[in-house]
Chain A
Amino acid sequence: MKDLLRLRTSLTEEIELALNSQIKMEAESSAIYLAMSSWCDRNGFDFSAGYFKKQSDEEREHMLRLFKFVSDMGGRAVSPEITNIQVEFESFRNVFEQALQQEIAVTQSFNRIADQCQKMKDYVTFSFLQWFLKEQIEEEYVARRALELFEVIGEEGTGQYEIDKRVPKITYEKTYEY
């Protein structure tokens, strides 16, 4: 009797579902960052608008990277439905707070998938996930540094203008390769 479950793909149903959920999460992140870019643009934070647009593009790249992997492995990659994306934000600071929360949620999600891969002994997917796990260090760092600018510079006077100018200049130094 044929093994129908492994006829087309070595991906298990559970891992395929988890990866498709992650594809959706990345697409949502991309949409949220684009909404943040729009909010910043509308409120005169020109540099931050550009920064969030770039972040949105990056999240879409992540989504495509996952999408390609599922397809390449013979799985069924699902183009996700994204709805109810937040349009308005409380404040300039709140935008960055939400951005950091989003990155932390993404890291936790990748951790859960990595854990699932180990439990199911899917080392091909586990190895594929390493790139994302490393990438999240940088993503979280940049989001955290951006939020810290609000404490370091302060929002009074021309503070918000200074913060806006500084945001795109945040870089992650890869001094030590992991």
Chain B
Amino acid sequence: MQTATALAEIYTSEAGAVYQCDRQNRLLLSYGGALTVMKLDAFLRLKRTVDSISLHEMAASTSRSADLEIVTVCGCERCFILDLPQLLAFKELLDGAKFMLSLNSVLHECLQTAVA
């Protein structure tokens, strides 16, 4: 019986890290001192939701409600409450992780082409 879970580090920034679990086909998001496990679908949804937030509008608005953004997505049990600097860092973390996932995909394709 295997007990240790092999995690591959996808991307790390000062704000947190994203890991991939090949056994469960899940992504693990380490942010703000907590670990969130999610499927790829939920990760992409989270990224799309964060990308859709206008940081410019948030910065320009004088309304107190614009100071914080609440991010919740289906398939992710955690609710993220982020201010502007946190949102910037979170966005950078998700962007980096998505880029590395895409890079891995491209490498797989190149390797398959090379083998064939």
Any B CB within 8 A of the CB of A13: yes
Other-chain residue from A2, A13, A76 in contact with B25 (beta carbon distance below 8 A): A2
Contacts of B27 in A (CB 8 A): 4
Q: Does B53 contact A (CB under 8 A)?
A: no
Chain A residues with CB under 8 Å of B109's CB are 6
Contact status A5-B40, CB under 8 Å: yes
Answer whether A1 and B22 are a contact pair too, CB < 8 Å, given A6-B105, A6-B108: yes
Chain B interface residue number, banded = 10 to 19
Indicate whether A152 reaches chain B with its CB closer than 8 angstroms: no
Closest A residue by C-beta to B107: A3
B28 to chain A, nearest CB (A): 12
- A7 is an interface residue with CB less than 8 A from chain B: yes
CB within 8 Å of A: which B19-64 residues: 20, 22, 25, 27, 40-41, 44
In the complex, which residue of chain B has the Cβ closest to the Cβ of A5? B105
* Interface core residue of A2, A4, A7, A13 (most chain B CB under 10 Å): A4
Let me know if A76 and B41 touch, CB within 8 A. Answer: yes
For B102, what are the chain A residues with a Cβ–Cβ distance below 8 Å? 5
Q: Give the 8 A-B CB pairs with smallest separation, nearest first.
A: A3-B108, A5-B105, A1-B8, A2-B22, A4-B40, A3-B105, A5-B101, A6-B105
